[in-house]
Amino acid sequence: MKKYRCKKKGILWTLVLSLILIMLSGCGETPPEVVSETPLSQQDATSQQPPEAKPEATSEPAEPSPESGPTFVERNGNLRVEGTQLVNEAGQPVQLKGVSSHEVASFGYLVTYNALKQMRDDWNLTVFRIAMYTEDATGYIRNPGVKDIVTRIIDDCIDLGIYVIIDWHILYDNTPLKYKDQAVEFFSEMSARYGDYPNIIYEICNEPNGADTTWEGHIKPYAEEVIPAIRKNDPDNIIIVGTPTWSQDVDIAADDPLPYDNVMYALHFYAGSHGQFLRDKIDYALSKGLPIFVSEWGSCLNTGDGPTFHEESMEWIKFLDERNISYVNWSFSTKQEGASILRKQIDVNAKWTDVDLTEGGLFAKYAIKGTKDTVLFADGFETKTFGHGKWKRSNDNTTYETENPYKGNYAASIGKDGFLERAVTTVPYENLKLHLAYTFVNGKPGDVVRIEWFDGANYNLVTELPLAEEWTELDIALPDSASGVHDFSVRITAAVADEDTRLLVDEIWLAAEKK
């Protein structure tokens, strides 16, 4: 059953309850008291706080859960722009947080109903972005059948009550004018098909780029043809417009904005490459009254690869949260690069856990979830994690165990004086806790697991875990001094007597709280 297959101007939940009351009153009995679920509240929808006041935004699904009550879209309804703020149907500020697909022709198979539902329920995801590439080999221009994948995902998002961004993902085409006619045709079709649903957000040009691509000469003229085509069918759903230099130059757009309502402007960043200079552009644009939507961000380098930059990413997330700016993480894929959320070979239709996510995926999950608790890394070794550079290991004494894993198909197997070591900054975090499961094969009395942490100069012993002949799962609190360390690492060593003894470890993760 579709939960919100109705015109966007009404709130279905309230109408259903009203009909029930009418039917009950017609039966000659006093109806039971019913509390209707309205869009957030019945506060004055005309009183909008100014952007500089930074009113608290709705970003997490409130109780009851989506299974038993109205979904996020049902509670918030048709979105619009007031000043620099994205607001809901009641006029209250709303902040969307979610993830983007990678190239949907190649990675759309990962975006199942179950995957979206898990992220909605477990991550508090409220928006999903469908990246439909245009010019590449599998893009829409050469492969118009990709539209079927797009509509399948849109339908799932509508059913699940989350917002969905239809992204015309220009990249290699540089200027959006190159395929303007195709874009007009595509968005005309999408708006005719979905314009009555409040879930829909249109992103009409992902990342205009190239030295010759300008706002006034290319992007604005393009938008002035695509936006009217959408508005013929959909008068008021949100439209996101890309900005020059891979959607970074929002300051240029702020000096020459488009003359349309409910239009927002894209800002994209990658925390390992983009810092204060880009945040300054955002603040300038906001000061000029330009509404910003971060429709793509990553915790790695702007190449889409590299390590997770925790400290820099945290600074960005705090900045966006303080300004109620919505953001979408790149990308929900298994591509072997730092920006990918999923490890390879994950079953998206099964119930996945933190050990199935990459380090960047973990950061994205907890940023979206909005809780203080987060997981900095998590490894179940199902994809032979320490063979891909995340773990430093003693090569001669550390291998894989396939016969006796704690969960899944593999565990790490460590021989005499062998070790596993994992580095990650703890600068934005406190109250660190190491979780692991371990056991011994051919263990002897006196054998222990040595747990240490590195402060940038020295190793510090945390504890020694005793011999365990069965799998033992536990949490180990790290000292306060382990917080705020740029060069932090944790090391697990097999302090055993015999060469034939093996220490098996599995389901390892480091958890912390955001400062």
Sketch out the chain's domains with CATH numbers.
Answer: 52-329 (3.20.20.80), 385-514 (2.60.120.260)
Amino acid 67: pLDDT: 64
Cα–Cα distance between 157 and 152 in angstroms, integer?
9
**Is-contact 423 488, C-beta < 8 A?**
yes
**Those residues with Cβ within 8 angstroms of residue 14's Cβ, 6 or more apart along the chain or in another chain:** 36, 37, 38
Answer yes or no: 207 catalytic. Answer: yes
Answer yes or no: 296 catalytic. Answer: yes
Burial of 141 (0-12, 13-18, 19+ CB in 10 A): middle
Among candidate residues 74, 207, 337, 359, the one labeled active-site is 207
Amino acid 59: pLDDT: 55
Cα–Cα distance between 367 and 376 in angstroms, integer?
12
Cα–Cα distance between 315 and 274 in angstroms, integer?
11
Among candidate residues 74, 89, 296, 401, the one labeled active-site is 296
Amino acid 396: pLDDT: 82
Per-residue pLDDT of the chain (515 residues; tens, 9 = 90+): 333 554 444 444 444 444 444 343 443 333 333 222 323 222 333 233 333 334 456 554 434 455 668 999 999 999 999 999 999 999 999 999 999 999 999 999 999 999 999 999 999 999 999 999 999 999 999 999 999 999 999 999 999 999 999 999 999 999 999 999 999 999 999 999 999 999 999 999 999 999 999 999 999 999 999 999 999 999 999 999 999 999 999 999 999 999 999 999 999 999 999 999 999 999 999 999 999 999 999 999 999 999 999 999 999 999 999 999 999 999 999 999 999 999 887 888 899 999 999 999 999 999 999 999 999 999 999 878 887 778 999 988 999 999 999 998 999 999 999 999 999 999 999 999 999 999 999 999 999 999 999 999 999 999 999 999 999 999 999 999 999 999 999 999 999 999 999 999 999 999 999 99
**Is-contact 48 169, C-beta < 8 A?**
no
Cα–Cα distance between 110 and 91 in angstroms, integer?
35
Amino acid 51: pLDDT: 34
How far from the centroid of its chain's Cα atoms is residue 157's Cα? 15
Cα–Cα distance between 292 and 168 in angstroms, integer?
18
**Whole-Å CA distances, 357 to 42, 50, 505:** 40, 39, 18
What is the spatial order of strands in the sheet that 391-393 belongs to? 391-393, 419-423, 489-495, 448-454, 459-465
Helices (H), 90-175: 104-107, 113-123, 147-160
Give the gyration radius of the chain's Cα atoms.
Answer: 25
Tell me how long the chain is.
Answer: 515
Q: Give the number of other Cβ atoms within 10 Å of residue 86's Cβ.
A: 25
